[in-house]
């Protein structure tokens, strides 16, 4: 694949822009190492490089990534750059997110086992590889000073963000170290369900988590991850107190969660088990499913009125429940309908999988076991029914009407 990060371009960028880089202090001293957390560590290639003061340096980590692509003593070549850019882009995205949190007053603490000190990494002077410093600085300069280069390198930045939320859920559930790589694509597992935070990116996020997403955020201590995700989701409203640019915009004084811009699919799944808007939306959508399934088997005289009521509920949830507090106030109003439709949906495996992937919805309907049981019994009955003759005739006429209108 063609890339703007050619060996010649990175060398030229280092010469032209090298003195102007570090707009956001990439070579600074972000965070602190928590030496009390020598827990299971990630592979060496995923580790961050520390400064002498004990924080992490993105600049030095970029050098390490480039060095990892070639043998000792061999100059960094185009193949090494091509292999390194996606990894570097993920690190840049993660570093900038952590910097946002730090500028918002959130303490950023790292697990000691996920970092390597600068002397051990031997990246400061680039002694082992003749051109590693020039190439690394050129790559950094291009990402900071060239929009096309930045877009190429940070193509997966959205997945880096959603991977953070998925990892936070992983820790809340106290799953094992190989949780994502083993179970990301295994239906019904916690890992498979947690990747739903990605919303429209869910399938991409599953592949990303299986490849690198777990290791990417492994460095954050439990308390730091919890605080950062609380801020990113707006669970705790945090203001960006210090000057920083994010995606080219000065964001000081803005709410952290507004700047990050997570979708409801992630916001409503954190904290684990707390009801959010997307859970109610899914519950109401499942009522549509229940109605359509029943109507496919028998005549329902007031189906139009029921559908209109469902539309009203969906509109109410989408437009008049601006935050989680409003959702929690409204939840009892919809409980019986959502509970019976939830039970109905569990009689159909594909629907059941989607419903059970939303832990807050599962917890919500858990307070209505008898209604859920009634819905499940009804679902089994409807599933086994043969369609009534008049329903078949109505379906045929409806299809023909659509065909005629389209022609």
DSSP string, 17-28: HGGG--TT-TTS
CB-based contact 235:217 (threshold 8 Å): no
Q: Are residues 304 and 225 in the same domain?
A: no
Of residues 131, 98, 137, the one with CA closest to residue 115: 98
Looking at 219, 254, 272, which one is the last position of a domain?
A: 272
Cα(180)–Cα(162) distance, rounded to whole angstroms? 14
- Residue 48, strand partner residues: 115
Q: What are the per-10-residue average pLDDT scores of the chain (407 residues)? A: 84 63 52 60 78 82 89 88 95 94 93 78 60 88 90 96 92 63 75 88 92 86 92 93 90 95 87 74 88 90 87 82 69 87 93 82 87 94 89 76 75
Contact between residue 33 and residue 114 where contact means Cβ atoms under 8 Å apart = no
**Distance separating alpha carbons of residues 127 and 139, to the nearest angstrom:** 19
Same domain, 125 and 248: yes
Asked if the structure places residue 54 within a domain, the reply is yes
The gap from C-alpha 387 to its chain's centroid, in whole angstroms, comes to 42
Q: How many CA atoms lie within 13 A of 248 on its CB side?
A: 7
What tokens were used for 339?
Answer: 């509970």
- Within a domain: 57: yes
Single out the residue in 272, 303, 330 at which a domain terminates.
Answer: 272
Strands (E), 70-152: 109-111, 115-116
The H-assigned helical ranges of 195-267 are: 202-208, 214-216, 222-233, 256-260, 264-267
143 assigned to some structural domain: yes
Task: Select from 272, 296, 316 the last residue of a domain.
Answer: 272
Same domain, 248 and 281: no
pLDDT at 23: 40
Beta strands 109-111 and 249-250 are: unpaired
- pTM for this model (two decimals): 0.72
- Note whether 261 and 317 are same-domain residues: no
Is there a single domain that holds both residue 251 and residue 351?
A: no
346 three-state secondary structure? coil
Residue 215, burial from CB neighbour count under 10 angstroms (0-12, 13-18, 19+)? buried
pLDDT for residue 22: 44
Task: Establish if 407 belongs to a structural domain.
Answer: no
Tell me, yes or no, whether 406 lies in a domain: no
Strands 249-250 and 245-246: antiparallel
Residue 124 is predicted with a pLDDT of 46
Let me know whether 288 and 258 are in one domain. no
Domain that holds residue 368: 277-401
Task: Specify the number of domains making up the chain.
Answer: 2
């Amino acid at each position: 694949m063609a890339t703007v990060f050619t060996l010649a371009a990175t060398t030229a960028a280092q010469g032209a822009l090298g003195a102007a880089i570090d707009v956001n202090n990439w070579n600074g001293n972000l965070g602190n190492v928590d030496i009390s957390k020598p827990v299971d560590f990630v592979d060496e290639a995923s580790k961050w490089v520390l400064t002498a003061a004990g924080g992490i340096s993105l600049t030095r980590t970029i050098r390490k990534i480039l060095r990892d692509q070639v043998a000792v003593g061999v100059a960094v070549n185009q193949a090494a750059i091509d292999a390194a850019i996606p990894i570097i882009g993920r690190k840049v995205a993660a570093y900038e997110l952590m910097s946002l949190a730090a500028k918002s007053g959130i303490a950023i603490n790292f697990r000691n086992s996920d970092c390597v000190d600068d002397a051990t990494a031997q990246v400061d002077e680039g002694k082992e590889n003749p051109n590693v410093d020039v190439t690394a600085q050129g790559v950094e300069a291009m990402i900071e000073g060239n929009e096309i280069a930045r877009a190429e390198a940070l193509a997966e930045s959205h997945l880096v963000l959603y991977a953070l939320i998925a990892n936070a859920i992983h820790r809340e559930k106290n799953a094992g170290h190989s949780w994502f790589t083993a179970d990301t694509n295994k239906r019904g597992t916690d890992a498979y369900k947690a990747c739903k935070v990605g919303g429209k990116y869910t399938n991409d996020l599953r592949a990303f988590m299986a490849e690198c997403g777990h290791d990417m955020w492994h460095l954050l201590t439990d308390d730091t991850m919890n605080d950062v995700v609380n801020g990113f989701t707006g669970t705790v409203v945090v203001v960006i107190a210090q000057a920083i640019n994010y995606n080219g915009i000065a964001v000081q004084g803005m709410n952290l969660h507004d700047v990050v811009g997570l979708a409801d699919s992630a916001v409503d799944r954190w904290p684990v088990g707390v009801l959010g808007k997307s859970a109610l939306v899914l519950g109401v959508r499942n009522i549509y499913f229940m109605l359509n399934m029943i109507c496919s088997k028998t005549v329902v005289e007031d189906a139009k009125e029921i559908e209109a009521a469902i539309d009203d509920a969906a509109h109410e949830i989408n437009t008049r429940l601006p935050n989680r507090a409003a959702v929690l106030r409204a939840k009892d109003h919809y409980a019986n309908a959502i509970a019976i439709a939830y039970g109905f949906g569990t009689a159909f495996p594909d629907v059941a999988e989607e419903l059970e992937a939303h832990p807050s919805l599962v917890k919500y309907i858990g307070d209505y076991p008898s209604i859920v049981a009634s819905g499940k019994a009804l679902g089994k009955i409807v599933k086994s029914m043969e369609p009534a003759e008049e329903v078949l005739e109505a379906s045929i006429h409806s299809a023909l009407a659509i065909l005629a209108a389209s022609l």
